[in-house]
Structure 1
Amino acid sequence: MTKTFIVSIGDELVKGEILNTNAQYIANSLVNMGFNISAILNLPDDYKQLVFNLRSLLSQKGVFIITGGLGGTRDDITRKALGEVFKKDLVLDKFADRELENWYRSKGREYTDSDRMQARVPEGGILLKNRVGLAYGIYIEINESHIFCLPGVPHEMKSMFDNDVVPMLRQKNLHDERYKCEILYFGDIAEYVLDKKINGIVSRYNGISYGTRASNGIIRVRFESFNGNLESCVNEVKEKLSGNYLYSGFRDISEVVGEILTGEKFTLSTAESCTAGYLAKRITDIPGSSSYFVGGVVAYSNIIKEQILGVSAETLKRYGAVSEQTAWEMASGALNIFDSTFSIAVTGIAGPAGGSKEKP
């Protein structure tokens, strides 16, 4: 497997102000292509630190994905750092220079030397076109290593990574074509029980490994192989654990539910209390959800539960807002309001003190 290093540049990452979703996206994509992630490194917007760390990392051979430190601001330090590390001059790409100048002029802005720096690249490298933004990326092949520098803005990074980096890695045969991976999801079973059952199956196959991860009642199992009969193994797992098997693939459960609803031409509505609309957000985060999601009600107070959803005062008084009975009446009320095929209701305790077994 090709060694791969991911470097993310930004003070906000080092200080923990935001999560490094760029590194997560890149790592997940590369692992599924058969790359070995050797390290993920967060670095501040500090030129000297960047040069020091890049010099150490780039002494190794492999694939290097660097995000951030590009653009027409004082934080544009990545290209200069690469030039210093490899002792390469920054040369002007005339095409990029002309495009940038036209863009600045169209906005009625002055095109300064600082802005022009975005059109420069270490000698021997090439600029990568930004399809959804302004900052160019950089690609350099040197000393048997492949270095990609991408913008730090997530949607710009994803666009450049998917449209440029991945095709180039495949074209250069840097990924391991023997690598195969399958993701299966299971429910209504304890993780240790599932692990024991899967191990009994996998142990009879050579060259296959797996790992489990439980989250919110669903267990994700990742199967990997470089030379084993992965398809047969996974099919046997599905067959022998059919009562607990939910779905497969690199998908969120919201996507799977959406596919089922769309295929059956069913509709869905929600009635939420403690989650305050989060369930509806998860559903509508999926493209095309408007074809099956009708709408939802956030009924945080008992008054709204009664007046909008039609939950009876007697139910609330006798069983409380956090009860199975109230949840059923909330769901029933949403069905009536939205005339949907199905409705999901959520009620519980979401405050910092948490809930209990009786009132979760």
Structure 2
Amino acid sequence: MVPTTRAEIITIGDEILFGQITDTNTQWIGTQLTDIGIRPVRKTSVGDNRQDILDAFAEASTRVNVIIVTGGLGPTRDDITKHTFCEYFGTELEINQEALALVTEFFAKRGRAMSELNIQQAALPKNCTYIPNLWGTAPGMWFEKDEVIYVSLPGVPYEMKSLMEFEILPRLKARFATQIIQHKSIRTIGIGESFLAEKIAPWEDALPDHIKLAYLPHFGQVRLRLTGTGTDQELLERQLNEQVSQLLPLIEEHVFGYNTDELETVIGTLLINSNATVGTAESCTGGFVANQITSVPGSSAYFEGSVVSYSNSVKMNVLGVSRETLEEFGAVSEQTAREMAEGARRVLNTTFAVSTTGIAGPDGGTAEKPVGTVWIACATPDETYTQLLTLRNNRKINIELTSSYALNLLRKTILKANMALKS
């Protein structure tokens, strides 16, 4: 059995902890490590504080084989990573001539003069292995201590990615005999995480030890991620597929895709294959459903347009919702959602049309229709389907959840229409 190579990713910088920038590096590094069979087991973020960084290094070294560090390699005083590495490894900085030549060339090509701070970019701990950075001025560094590898990389994403891809990953692959780590995801919608877990519990309990399951919920969806570990890629792929085959009969009505499939992409494929078109009529979502649909490249082949009918006058004058409907049932009602969808299909001349109308919040609710009350509808040439949603007291979440459920109603309606054509 090949031992598992474990990694920890440490990001350094107050700007990450203060929320001034989003840490995208960790996600990308984790994916790359997994692809070569190294398992990320923890990520740690620390500020520009010497003792915190030293503690993070020491703690990580007790649990992993590889420590990837990003950030803190700039030329200014707040960039202390190199000095902290020197303290941790009991060494000192010296000008690395290879690094200095590369930094000098970097500035010469751009016709810029070097300052003393730029020269100090070439000052590296004496005991590190220099990793040339062809994409910037901060070199990478490779250290080894007590059978643990420490890699220090710039925090600038494109520099970090280039160093990882061309320098670090090949070295790690050559260094470790790793297991294969493979993921397979099943994308579900319309069923909560706890209900899903209860439904598939017997299947989950029977999973072999080398295959693990994770639940990843997001705005009305739950991604079930199977992670298999082994030494034979073909066998592992077959075993994961077998597990998916056993799972599908239990939850097939809620599955809309696999792996990187997104709901809007799946819908686009269905529409293209059906030679069909779609439009939207949106009130509470303010165009967010249309935004999701048109985020897919090539969506102009099937998306005709949208009517954001926020006011009752637009609902009546553009979509043809009757005044009587609005007066008797209100703007947030099954009847209004139905007439909005049917009006959008007529006005936009599409095969399908989706509508949303509701109370997104944070105010505007009543005892009969509290915040989070939403009706959605999907119209076809022959029938209109409606659905009541009872959501939360959060405007942003309600808009995103409504859009997700509206897209799913569209997906199910297209599938139903296709089934009717085949029968």
| CA distance 1:52–1:204, shift in 2 (3 Å) | closer
Task: Give CA deviations for 1:130-163 in whole Å, capped at 9, x if unaligned.
Answer: 3xxx454614142333334344345665565556
Contact 1:100 1:119 in 2 (8 A): no
TM score, norm. by length of structure 2: 0.69
1:321 to 310, 313, 331: 331
Match of 2:9 in 1: 6
Distance of 1:220 and 1:285 partners within structure 2: 20
| CA distance 1:358–1:244, shift in 2 (3 Å) | closer
Distance of 1:116 and 1:325 partners within structure 2: 71
Task: Give CA deviations for 1:266-315 in whole Å, capped at 9, x if unaligned.
Answer: 44433332233333343444455455444434333333434444444333
Match of 1:273 in 2: 283
Determine if the alignment matches structure 1 residue 209 to structure 2 residue 215. Answer: no
Contact 1:72 1:135 in 2 (8 A): no
Match of 1:96 in 2: 102
Q: CA deviation at 1:224?
A: 2.5
| CA distance 1:325–1:19, shift in 2 (3 Å) | farther
Q: CA deviation at 1:184?
A: 0.9
Determine if the alignment matches structure 1 residue 113 to structure 2 residue 116. Answer: yes
Contact 2:279 2:306 in 1 (8 A): yes
Contact 1:334 1:343 in 2 (8 A): yes
Task: Give CA deviations for 1:233-273 in whole Å, capped at 9, x if unaligned.
Answer: 22221245433332111343333334444555544433332
| CA distance 1:219–1:56, shift in 2 (3 Å) | closer
| CA distance 1:44–1:184, shift in 2 (3 Å) | same
Letter in 1 for 2:201: N
Distance of 1:57 and 1:242 partners within structure 2: 42
Distance of 1:175 and 1:197 partners within structure 2: 35
Question: Any stretches of 5+ residues in structure 1 without a counterpart?
Answer: none
Contact 2:67 2:151 in 1 (8 A): yes
Letter in 2 for 1:346: T
Match of 1:181 in 2: 183
Letter in 2 for 1:257: I
Distance of 1:340 and 1:164 partners within structure 2: 52
Letter in 2 for 1:180: Q
Distance of 2:66 and 2:261 partners within structure 1: 27
Contact 1:182 1:249 in 2 (8 A): yes
Distance of 1:343 and 1:33 partners within structure 2: 45
| CA distance 1:206–1:350, shift in 2 (3 Å) | same
Contact 2:256 2:263 in 1 (8 A): no
Letter in 2 for 1:127: P
What SS class does the counterpart of residue 352 from structure 1 fall into? Answer: coil
Contact 1:3 1:37 in 2 (8 A): yes
Name which of structure 1's ranges 286-295 and 217-226 shifts more when overlaid on structure 2.
286-295
Percent pairwise identity: 33
Match of 1:69 in 2: 72
Q: CA deviation at 1:44?
A: 1.5
Match of 2:356 in 1: 346
- The 5-angstrom pairing of residues 109-258 of structure 1 reads 109-122=112-125, 123-130=128-135, 134=136, 136=138, 138-143=140-145, 144-154=147-157, 157=160, 161=164, 165-173=168-176, 175-177=178-180, 179-207=181-209, 208-227=211-230, 229-258=239-268
Q: CA deviation at 1:101?
A: 0.6
| CA distance 1:39–1:313, shift in 2 (3 Å) | same
Aligned length: 353
What SS class does the counterpart of residue 208 from structure 2 fall into? Answer: coil
Distance of 1:217 and 1:306 partners within structure 2: 31
Letter in 2 for 1:140: W
Task: Give CA deviations for 1:318-349 in whole Å, capped at 9, x if unaligned.
Answer: 32222233333333444455544443333222
Contact 2:214 2:225 in 1 (8 A): yes
| CA distance 1:337–1:136, shift in 2 (3 Å) | farther
Q: CA deviation at 1:182?
A: 1.5
Letter in 1 for 2:14: D
Letter in 2 for 1:124: T
Q: CA deviation at 1:104?
A: 4.4
Task: Give CA deviations for 1:113-137 in whole Å, capped at 9, x if unaligned.
Answer: 223444554442213443xxx4546
| CA distance 1:117–1:330, shift in 2 (3 Å) | farther
Distance of 2:267 and 2:132 partners within structure 1: 41
TM score, norm. by length of structure 1: 0.79
Letter in 1 for 2:285: T
What SS class does the counterpart of residue 252 from structure 2 fall into? Answer: coil
Whichever of the two has the greater Rg, that structure is: 2
Contact 2:133 2:140 in 1 (8 A): yes
Determine if the alignment matches structure 1 residue 26 to structure 2 residue 29. Answer: yes
| CA distance 1:180–1:84, shift in 2 (3 Å) | same
Question: Any stretches of 5+ residues in structure 2 without a counterpart?
Answer: 231-235, 375-389, 391-423
Match of 2:408 in 1: none
Contact 2:200 2:250 in 1 (8 A): no
Determine if the alignment matches structure 1 residue 78 to structure 2 residue 81. Answer: yes
